[in-house]
Structure 1
Amino acid sequence: MVLAAIALEHGNDAKAKELSDLAAKIGGAVGWRHILLGRLALKRSDTAAARAAARAAAKADVAWPELAGDLGVLLSRTGLHAEALPFLARATEARRYDPQAAYNYGIALQFTGDLRKAREVFEDLVTREPGHAQAWLALVPLAKDRHEEFLPMLEQRFAATDSVEDRLMLGHAIARMLEDKGEWDASLGWLDRAKEPLATRIGHDRAATERLFAASAASAESPIPALSGDTSPLFIVGMPRSGTTLAERILSAHPDVTSAGELSDFAVLAKRTVQTPGGHVLDAPTIEAAASADLSAIEGAYVERVRTIVGDSPHFIDKMPFNFFFAPLILQALPGARVICLRRSPQDTVFSNYRQLFATAFTYYSYAYHFEDTAHFVAQFEKLIDHFEQALPENRFLSLSYEEIVADFDRQARKLVAFAGLDWDDACAAFHENTAPVATASSLQVRQPIYANAVARWKRYPGGAIRVQEALSRLGIGNIEKNIG
């Protein structure tokens, strides 16, 4: 197993699998072997297999704190955040302090709603390891009462480090603190400084983005079947930071609904069905091929995968935001599925995506390192959803405005619940009391009652407001104050 782990760390996945299979024949190291198999499954975007491997490792138990930490991360990455906590706690409490284990534990605590304990873990971590940029970024929104103390410290650390990744995280943390001080354009300037090196290194491809959106738009021309069969799947999609988590919390507060989290399973099954080359499950060739393919085999496989998370819940939610690209294909492949798309004002969507630090390992978020690239991506989204609203059946595709949910919560929440085929339940109005884990950037906000502070946030940036309007106007989004609902 040591050799298999080394092979995996060096990117030799085939050799890692070969050595794992050999270890299985010899016997022993069961927990370790399943952790490695789970990591291999995640690399090929097979969340279901990774989840099964993680649970097998948990059942076998793992004695070493290092392996407990690896298992906790694997469980978290497959959406099993509550199950991850005891293993991450074991890794953190080991005799030899491991900063990354402590960070992982703090994040899992935040996702599961224990914000007080998460803050304690992050404060202890930055005390022990003052250079841990990830921990600073996680701590800042949890410790607003210490911003005056933190701000000069982080500005000094930003200036002292040559690490592009650390500067990215520290810059985001500084920008967040300046926002809370009301220094909006100064905050935007820090984001520009923090992101520019990665924007240059990554080089977001706008032409490829346009091909992807065009393929998705064209897929809506294929016939969409009438609503029938298994109506348990509910998809919530939209741009990140547009209200998708809010909609998920409202619906999952209903006793007949369980959220499965953000799943890549539909994309994986679509890719597997059409067998397009390349390592990405979301690309234009896959959508183009799937639009004319027989997708009927996907339904059973998809539902079976999700049932391993949600059990026998009458309805379940898949809240992968970028599934909006697959919306027509979802409606074709799963005749009983409904898709709910959240929209937010384009200006606020640009700012909310630009100010968010997404996982740097995922190339799908490459647009968010440059302000103009972010505006370009949002403009493409706006045009695509305008098209979907006209092309897709209204009893299977619903577009909801974040601003309207905030302004008229009761009516919009009831509209959402009714579209899902459910009777109203008062628990949906108390969504902030929902105790289910939240593994998104909204994990703090959705534990509060509805509030309007995030509406028209873009107008608080004096220079940034002009910047975003000019960028969107150049990209053909002229009526940007339109009522989206």
Structure 2
Amino acid sequence: MVLAAIALEHGNDAKAEELADLAEKIGGAEGWRHILLGRLALKRSDTAAARDAARAAAAVGVDWPELAGDLGVLFSRTGLHTAALPFLARAMEAERFDPQAAYNYGIALQFTGDLPKARAVLEDLVTREPAHAQAWLALVPLAKDRHGEFLPDLEQKFAATENAEDRLIIGHAIARVLEDKGDWDASLGWLDRAKEPLAKTTGHDRAQTERLFAAAAASAGAPIPFLSGDPSPLFIVGMPRSGTTLAERILSAHPDVTSAGELSDFAVLIKRLVKTPGGHVLDAPTIEAAGSADLSAIEAAYIDRVRTIVGDSPRFIDKMPFNFFFAPLVLQALPGARVVCLRRSPHDTVFSNYRQLFATAFTYYSYAYDFEDTAHFVALFEKLIDHFEQALPKERFLSVSYEDIVADFDTQARRLVAFAGLEWNDACTAFHENSAPVATASSLQVRKPIYADAVARWKRYPEGSRRVQEALARFGIAHFKKI
């Protein structure tokens, strides 16, 4: 198992699997072996297998706190955040303090709603490890009362490090503090400064992005069946930071609805079906190939995978925002599924994506390192959803404006519930009391009642508002079309 773990850390997945098989024949260390197999499954984007491995490891048990931490991370990365929490807590019992284990525990506490304890864990972490950039970024929104003392420390840390990723993270933390102070353009300037090195090295490809959007648009030309089959899947899609989590919380507050979180399962099944080369499950060749493929086998496989998370819930939500690229394929492959697409002012969407630090390991978000690239991506999204609104059946594809939810919550909440094929339940009004974990950038906001502070936020940037209007106009988006 030691050799298998070394092989995995060095990217030799085949050798890691071979050594894990040998360890199984010898016997012992079963929990560790399941964790390693789960990590291998995640590298293949097989969340269902990773989930099964995590549960198997938990059933067998793990002896070491360090392994408990690995198991907690495996549960978290497969969407089982409540199951992850006790294992991440056990990792804190190791004799040697592990900053990453403390960070993982703090984030899990935030996702599951224990914000005071999350703050305490993260404050302790930055005291012990002042250079832990991720901990600072996570702590800033939880400790607004300490922003005055944070700002000079963060600026000093930014100047002291040459690590591009740490500068990116610390720069985002500084921008968040300045934003809360009302220094909007100063905040934007720090984002520009922090992101610039990554924008150069990441090399976002606009031509490939345009091909991906074109493939998604073309996939809407295939016949879409009438609503039939298993009605349980509800997809909530849209640009990140556009209100998708808010819509999810409204619907999942209904007693007949359970959220499965942000799943890659549909994309993985499509990729396996069409067998396109490359490691990405979201790319133009895959969507192009799927447009002429027989998708009939997808429904049973997809629903079986999600049932391992949600049990027998009458409806379940898959809230992977970028599933909007697959919306026509979802409606073709899952004849009982419905898709809700959130739309927000493109000007606000540009800012909300540019100011968000997405996982740097995922190249899908490479657009967010450059302001113009972000505007380009948002403009393409706007045009694609305009097309979907015309091409896809209205009983199966619904566009909802974030601004409309804020302005007329009751009407829009009832509209969402009715579209899902459900009777109204008053619990949907108290979505902020929903106790289910939230593992998105909106984990703090959706625990509060509806508020209008985020509407037209782009206008608060004196120079930034000019930048976003000019950038979107260059890509053919001059104003926000109300839905």
Runs of 4+ in 1 over 3 A off after TM superposition: none
Paired position in structure 1 for 2:481: 482
* 1:299-314 aligned within 5 A: 299-314=299-314
**CA separation in 2, counterparts of 1:470 and 1:186?**
19
Look up the equivalent residue of 2:184 and give its one-letter code.
W
**CA separation in 2, counterparts of 1:77 and 1:109?**
15
Paired position in structure 1 for 2:228: 228
Paired position in structure 1 for 2:47: 47
**CA separation in 2, counterparts of 1:92 and 1:371?**
39
Paired position in structure 1 for 2:318: 318
Q: After TM superposition, give the deviation of residue 97 of structure 1 in Å.
A: 0.6
2:176 counterpart SS class: helix
2:459 counterpart SS class: helix
**CA separation in 2, counterparts of 1:295 and 1:284?**
17
* 1:187-266 aligned within 5 A: 187-266=187-266
Paired position in structure 2 for 1:396: 396
- 1:396-422 C-alpha deviation (Å, 9 max, x unpaired): 000000000000000000000000000
**CA separation in 2, counterparts of 1:304 and 1:334?**
13
**CA separation in 2, counterparts of 1:410 and 1:25?**
59
- 1:341-368 C-alpha deviation (Å, 9 max, x unpaired): 0000000000000000000010000000
Look up the equivalent residue of 1:179 and give its one-letter code.
E
Q: After TM superposition, give the deviation of residue 481 of structure 1 in Å.
A: 3.1
Paired position in structure 1 for 2:353: 353
Look up the equivalent residue of 2:384 and give its one-letter code.
L
Paired position in structure 1 for 2:465: 465
2:340 counterpart SS class: strand
Q: After TM superposition, give the deviation of residue 37 of structure 1 in Å.
A: 0.4
Matched, 1:420 2:420: yes
Look up the equivalent residue of 1:460 and give its one-letter code.
R
**CA separation in 2, counterparts of 1:103 and 1:349?**
29
**CA separation in 2, counterparts of 1:165 and 1:60?**
37
Paired position in structure 2 for 1:181: 181
Look up the equivalent residue of 1:397 and give its one-letter code.
F
What is the root-mean-square deviation of aligned Cα atoms in Å?
0.5
Q: After TM superposition, give the deviation of residue 249 of structure 1 in Å.
A: 0.1
- 1:198-222 C-alpha deviation (Å, 9 max, x unpaired): 0001010000000000000000000
- 1:71-93 C-alpha deviation (Å, 9 max, x unpaired): 11000000111111111111112
Look up the equivalent residue of 1:372 and give its one-letter code.
E
The number of equivalent residue pairs is: 483
Paired position in structure 2 for 1:113: 113
Paired position in structure 1 for 2:295: 295
Paired position in structure 1 for 2:99: 99
Look up the equivalent residue of 2:105 and give its one-letter code.
Y
**CA separation in 1, counterparts of 2:416 and 2:58?**
37
Q: After TM superposition, give the deviation of residue 47 of structure 1 in Å.
A: 0.4
Paired position in structure 1 for 2:172: 172
**CA separation in 2, counterparts of 1:349 and 1:136?**
25
**CA separation in 2, counterparts of 1:27 and 1:145?**
53
Q: After TM superposition, give the deviation of residue 131 of structure 1 in Å.
A: 0.5
Structure 1, unmatched stretches of 5+, are none
Look up the equivalent residue of 2:448 and give its one-letter code.
Q
Q: After TM superposition, give the deviation of residue 466 of structure 1 in Å.
A: 0.3
**CA separation in 2, counterparts of 1:293 and 1:152?**
57
Q: After TM superposition, give the deviation of residue 23 of structure 1 in Å.
A: 1.1
Paired position in structure 1 for 2:2: 2
**CA separation in 1, counterparts of 2:418 and 2:33?**
46
Q: After TM superposition, give the deviation of residue 25 of structure 1 in Å.
A: 1.4
Matched, 1:126 2:126: yes
Paired position in structure 2 for 1:157: 157
2:130 counterpart SS class: coil
Look up the equivalent residue of 2:481 and give its one-letter code.
K
**CA separation in 1, counterparts of 2:423 and 2:154?**
50
Paired position in structure 2 for 1:436: 436
**CA separation in 1, counterparts of 2:62 and 2:360?**
29
1:237 counterpart SS class: strand
**CA separation in 1, counterparts of 2:144 and 2:93?**
27
**CA separation in 2, counterparts of 1:400 and 1:442?**
18
Q: After TM superposition, give the deviation of residue 482 of structure 1 in Å.
A: 2.4
Look up the equivalent residue of 2:203 and give its one-letter code.
G
* 1:446-457 aligned within 5 A: 446-457=446-457
Identity, % of aligned positions: 85
**CA separation in 1, counterparts of 2:173 and 2:61?**
37
1:63 counterpart SS class: coil
**CA separation in 1, counterparts of 2:348 and 2:268?**
31
Paired position in structure 1 for 2:281: 281
Look up the equivalent residue of 2:91 and give its one-letter code.
A
Q: After TM superposition, give the deviation of residue 95 of structure 1 in Å.
A: 2.0
Look up the equivalent residue of 2:450 and give its one-letter code.
I
